[in-house]
């Protein structure tokens, strides 16, 4: 049992090490300072063009949602607890959109390949939380 948690922590650390640079690039490209400004002054959203609204508010918002749900799924997996399925669906939707952008935009320089372990692990966590196969998963890691 002790080795199972060690394997889970090592897996989590490796995957986050690979995916954090992509989260940072996505947020920096979406200008997170503008995102916080719009959260404080929501009426100004009506003066933005659709492109500005996507670049400065919607895209960084989906990145934050994907990061937080990925973190919640990861913590749930570590402590062997399920999270609510609606959070999984929302995070999966945002994560799929962000992964498509990240892989297609960064694959030409080879960075997209570093995102593949994170995509695989997120897919595994979605399956684990939806099917709640905690005993089977722990048996595979022993």
Contacts of 113 (CB under 8 A, 6+ apart): 107
- List pLDDT tens digits, range 97-134: 888 877 777 666 666 777 788 889 999 999 999 987 55
- List pLDDT tens digits, range 57-113: 777 788 888 889 999 999 999 998 899 899 999 999 988 888 887 777 766 666 677
Torsion of CA 78, 112, 131, 136, to 10 degrees: -60
- What is this structure's pTM? 0.76
> Hey, where are the domains in the chain?
2-38+47-141
CA distance 132 to 127: 8
Q: How far is the CA of 129 from the CAs of 2, 101, 136, in angstroms?
A: 22, 25, 12
CA distance 138 to 13: 18
């Amino acid at each position: 049992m002790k080795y199972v948690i060690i394997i889970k922590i090592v897996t989590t650390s490796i995957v986050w090490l690979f995916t954090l640079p992509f989260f940072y690039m996505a947020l920096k490209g979406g200008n997170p300072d503008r995102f916080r400004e719009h959260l404080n002054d929501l009426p100004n959203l009506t003066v933005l063009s659709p492109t500005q609204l996507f670049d400065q508010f919607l895209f960084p918002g989906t990145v934050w949602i994907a990061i937080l749900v990925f973190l919640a799924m990861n913590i749930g997996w570590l402590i062997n607890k399920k999270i609510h399925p609606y959070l999984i669906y929302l995070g999966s939707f945002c994560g799929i959109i962000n992964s498509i952008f990240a892989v297609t935009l960064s694959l030409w320089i080879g960075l997209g390949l570093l995102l593949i372990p994170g995509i695989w692990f997120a897919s595994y966590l979605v399956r684990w939380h939806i099917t709640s196969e905690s005993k089977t998963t722990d048996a595979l890691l022993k």
